[in-house]
Structure 1
């Protein structure tokens, strides 16, 4: 659990299609790497889990991502730790 999750850069992808997710999250990752941020939050909501699965499928093996995990207190978000060795 991240106690300071509210302070992390956040992207809300509610209402995005699966096709839009890659471009939006990828751009958000690039922007945050440039700004030197180490963690970001993707808000996908709970629903049927389609956006959550898509985020994890697309970015689990991305070279820019060190680690990707959910928050045990909020199932509607994914936390991404960015790779600092790019």
Structure 2
């Protein structure tokens, strides 16, 4: 009985981790796509250079992380609502 419970918990944690990875990568990709329209030449000298692309990548990771964190928190909060009633 105990091994069934621990196996169920570990598989739930694994699915949750996999979902977090997929959502995070999707949001980072979405942020990268959205940042392609940003005119970085207004802020930096060489936006097509390696440093400009690295800055764009870092911005996509940061923005994607915050969006993914919001979505995952929202899903978690939505799941908690069922315990209210």
Q: Same fold (TM over 0.5)?
A: no
Structure number with greater Rg is 2
Q: Relative to total residues, which structure has the larger helix share, 1 or 2?
A: 2
